[in-house]
Structure 1
């Protein structure tokens, strides 16, 4: 797409929209965020509307701030470089599930990041983005023999999730030598955070080898002693809702296990520690908190040996790199009242904000109100529901939210949606996946745009829903009837 400058307006100086959302259900929702939204975001919304990226024919789209993404990647690298001994190999592998979009993966690769993949689809995306095998890590609790063979043939790092998978690797590496770095994921069983579904270090988590179960620690140590090719340990305590102290405690447990294994082996057998990701995101305002530097400093204080150069490091951050740099922008189709409550019916609901709709207390989203030209709306806040297009009553992205009065033709922006909202589409009502577009400022003060993902056409939707096999069941019925 071409460069575009939005129509002249005072949007950059407009007051912040009357909206916010809290990270936890106990935090109050205020009428304005702690920090005014980025003027670049305002310009991007206005430009997207002016260019027709969002309009009557395409009523919802995703917008990604390229400069913001690159800034987050640079902050991650700098945070760990500050505390890590010179020459220590560090791979920051982006968790592909957070934004499974090839252009995003290629952009991050250009910023020095690799990819953490959790299945053949994500691996295919990483390869399409040009991410080399040496900068790719395969994690999953259910890897098939075919997936493992492919990874081992390519030289991709693999973290086994169970003793059963280690046995499978025994057979595969015995029949075909590999250059893949191989490790084992352990569960330190430290407990969960405020969101159970995001807590991966509980006593009964499906992930990793449960380190505190009876005799398991000894079995882990012996598994390494029996396998000289096993050189990595992996841990991931959890993501959103996890306190940093618990995350750091999980890394400390991993480090101490590595030290024990190496002492028993009489040599540095474990050479790399994969400490996972999961840095929580502040969804209550534009403030980035906690920062990567805050987390790296806590790790340096809690586990100083982690950074002394004896171990290579791998991280697997996802949400924290992208969330703040994305917006779901949707047109308001209708406005009405029910039981004294105003309702703005938009085109952004459960199909793009699945977690927000089904678990609003855990995944609240801030909503900004823009007018028909894409300029920030002003006016006294009115409590409103912001509804999506799906055919069930609970399809609401915001409930009783104070916003300037929304009318048909206006727009709503769901903020902090750069991670997961574009890669976990919910195909309820066969709603097509929206287009995703990246933007960046140009030297002339305008914005340049690029298509990240083309909006799904209805013909494509029909095709993936079995359109080519339309009469398959009818033929079976005819065969059955004549039998």
Structure 2
């Protein structure tokens, strides 16, 4: 396929890479590595999400998962675009507030919320999804008989099974998330919890993300819907008024096309859970990777090339320190690679099998293995596509490598590229400070004084 979306994505990305080189953002002595985010691509994903659900005739609060791109300028962009935000830690909550989200636009999910975090969220009316019965007891104690200011839900594990990637499947029989819905006595205990807590008004379910097919995701949402119906029937009142259906739309790492699309997702839900769209329940979504991944690029200068055991190796500055999720499971995240010359022009010519090595001092730091690429030489540029989710904001400080700069870009109809800084490069001095430099003498101070 070669849709207009794919063509625009490629054209804008190539222009951005060339522009980054010409403007000195990439390729200089202090700029061997950069992250780039296509602003128009992100906004187009938001529009596609809204369009898919707008035809449903149901009230929907669309949040994005902060963890997927926890960068304040990006979060501010989505806030201005009308998205709300799902957070999973106190720090993500503060990032969201800094980005301009008011408390009622936030949803707080985490399997390990502290009493202090719960108290903060409850005091400000931030929606909370409770993970387990022990956490629910904390909420009950904090409210002490008072009504809740914001929505409070309970997360269930529908136990519908896993997808092709274990680490991103959250509805398995033994998943750490939520109340296991099919365990003996779970439904009865949940009904009792709702009966005891009239402020408990939401059911939350999230089946997983990468590797989870749409029918599996829909099956999990159907289980949450059926629980809501059962609770309301048993209690004889409409206590559950909303369903948080999570996110998890898979992303294709094969080409520049979106697939499956948000429209595909909604069509699957209409078939599997038609009652979801009759207006009786408000919906909450929490998409992350699907909003950002296709709009991000990580680009690195090739520092060295060599041949070892007959294999050509290109050593770059892009490794697991910025691609930690992808490189922890390379079979699940088969990164696509683009090659460019030192001026940022697409590189062609004879090809050879290459390993693309990152800068970290461990053997598994490879972004591609035995990949057929144009022959790379020092100074060339390697671009890793579909890296707009997690990679740009989730840095791994292995070898004390500094966080690279991240820039957003837009392209006009003439192909002109305009950049804006998202995050400046971390300095070596900042890396040293983060390592505890201010306490340099603390441990030696515990030792006995010399005679």
TM range (shorter): over 0.9
Secondary structure at 2:447 match in 1: helix
Q: Distance in 1 between matches of 2:228 and 2:14?
A: 49
| Alignment-derived partner of residue 65 in structure 1 | 38
Cα offset, 1:123, TM superposition? 0.4
**Does structure 1 residue 122 correspond to structure 2 residue 92?**
yes
1:376-387 paired onto structure 2 within 5 Å: 376-387=346-357
1:70-118 CA-partner distances (Å, limit 9, x unpaired):
00000001100112x2xx3311110011000011111111111111100
Matching residue of 1:337: 307
User: What is the alpha-carbon distance in structure 1 between the residues aligned to residue 80 and residue 270 of structure 2?
Assistant: 27
Query: What corresponds to 1:164 in structure 2?
Result: 134
Asked whether the 8 Å contact 1:149–1:172 carries over to 2, the reply is yes
Secondary structure in 2 matching 1:260: helix
Give 1:178 shift: 3.5
Distance 1:132 1:240 in 2: 30
8 Å CA contact retained: 1:332, 1:346: yes
Matching residue of 1:279: 249
What is the CA distance between 1:300 and its match in structure 2?
A: 1.1
Distance in 1 between residues matched to 2:185 and 2:153, nearest whole Å: 20
Q: Could you tell me how far apart the structure 2 residues matched to 1:463 and 1:106 are?
A: 28
The CA deviation string for residues 284-304 of structure 1, in whole angstroms up to 9 with x for no partner, is 111100000000011011111
Q: Distance in 2 between matches of 1:358 and 1:269?
A: 42
Does 2:239 correspond to 1:269? yes
SS at match of 1:352: coil
Is 1:384–1:399's contact at 8 Å kept on the other side of the alignment?
yes
**What pairs up with 1:297-316 in 2 under 5 angstroms?**
297-316=267-286
Displacement of 1:444 after TM fit? 5.8
Query: 1:53 matched to which residue of 2?
Result: 25
TM-score w.r.t. the length of structure 1 is 0.90
Among candidates 208, 216, 226, match of residue 246 of structure 1: 216
- Aligned 8 A contact 1:382 1:405 in 2: yes
Preserved CA contact (<8 Å) 1:271 1:310? yes
Whole-angstrom distance in 2 between the partners of 1:459 and 1:175: 51
Matching of residue 454 in structure 1 with residue 424 in structure 2: yes
Contact 2:157 2:181 in 1 (8 A): yes
Output one character per residue of 1:222-267: Cα deviation in whole Å (capped at 9) or x when no partner.
1101111100000000110001001001111111111111111111
Mean Cα deviation higher: 433-442 or 169-178: 169-178
Tell me, what secondary structure is at the counterpart of 1:335?
Answer: strand
User: Does residue 301 of structure 2 align to residue 328 of structure 1?
Assistant: no
Partner of 1:181: 151
The equivalent residue for 2:264 is: 294
| Alpha-carbon distance in structure 2 between the residues aligned to 1:323 and 1:91 | 21
Deviation digits for residues 445-480 of structure 1 (CA, Å, limit 9, x no counterpart): 41111100011011111111101111111111245x
CA distance in 1, matches of 2:146, 2:187: 29
Of 389, 393, 404, the residue aligned with 1:434 is 404
Partner of 1:42: 14
| Aligned-partner Cα distance in 1 for 2:286–2:190 | 23
Computed over aligned residues only, the root mean square deviation of the Cα atoms, in angstroms, reads: 1.5
In the alignment, the residues of structure 2 paired with residue 168 and residue 393 of structure 1 have an alpha-carbon distance, to the nearest angstrom, of 45
1:268 match: secondary structure: coil
| Mean CA deviation greater in 193-202 or 167-176 | 167-176
Counterpart in the other structure of 2:363: 393
State the partner residue of 2:47: 74
